[in-house]
Amino acid sequence: MKRLKKHLLRAALILATLYAATLGALYFAQETLLFRPQVLAADYVFHFPAPYREIRLPVAGAELHGLHFRHENPQGAIVFFHGNAGSLAHWGNIGARLAALGYDCYLFDYRGYGKSSGNLRSEAQMLADVESMMAYIRHDSGDKPLTLIGYSLGSGMAAYAAAHHPVERLILVSPFYTLRGLIQEKYPIVPAPLIKYPLPSAEYLTQSAKTPLLLIHGRRDTLIPLAHSYRLCEEFPDRSTLHELDAGHGDIWNDPAIWKVIGETLRQ
């Protein structure tokens, strides 16, 4: 009996050690799991179907690279926060299409993406960069009304920006209720305190109580389930509208319906 207890205790210790090691690896590998940047050479030349200028924005310990698509007679300015993969070589096409709707459009690559230097290390750093972006855009765009659009990972940043800056409207595409909650859905073994990027979108939206909110989500989205948008819509029923599209996560921008919905919203 004593020998059995020793074996069980030893097995429990081994399992506990393996569990702790797994959690440690997940904690330190979060950036690798969350962020999938495409790195561009400093002399990379973009090719878009609309005129643009490049922006170099100094931030603490790095420099962010951005694009500004100009419209001859803008009705306002749009700030687009892109997803967790790629670079402006791809996302700039979204900026060009948004500008074609009658707006100036600004978008930035995050640290380590595209031509932006540095690396993302914490949520505080990420949100400080969002503050720098918004300060630059507010100064550059003058008094133009701002519309924020955030997709996937960028939906959390857009929600944060709307909570701390006056904006005319907020559009979240494929958003999560909280990034921490989404991560725990995918990795149930990870305790909440170990998640370095909680990005509580719902909490941010509470702080922007008067901002009209448009939610767009694909019914076939398996990465961020449609249920996340339902929760957000139910929590803010008086100012939110939810449009479901017959799309998944990565292909939602290829659906003509998304451009119809965004165009109609901007014209309101």
Predicted TM-score (pTM) of the model is: 0.91
User: First and final CA of the chain: distance in angstroms?
Assistant: 76
Looking at the predicted structure, is the pLDDT value of residue 9 above 70?
no
d(CA 126, CA 30): 14
| CB neighbour class for 34 (10 Å; exposed up to 12, middle 13-18, buried from 19) | middle
Distance CA 197, CA 179 (A): 7
pLDDT tens sequence across 222-245: 999 999 999 999 999 999 999 999
Cβ atoms of residues 55 and 115 within 8 Å: no
Sign of CA dihedral 100, 57, 90, 204: negative
pLDDT 10s digits, 111-146: 999 999 999 999 999 999 999 999 999 999 998 999
- pLDDT higher than threshold 90 for residue 61: yes
Average pLDDT over residues 52-74: 96
What is the C-alpha separation between 100 and 248, in angstroms, rounded? 25
Lowest mean pLDDT among 15-29, 83-97, 162-176, 201-215: 15-29
The strand order across the sheet containing 62-69 reads 52-59, 62-69, 104-108, 77-81, 146-151, 169-173, 213-218, 240-245
- Read off the pLDDT band of 18 (50, 70, 90): very low
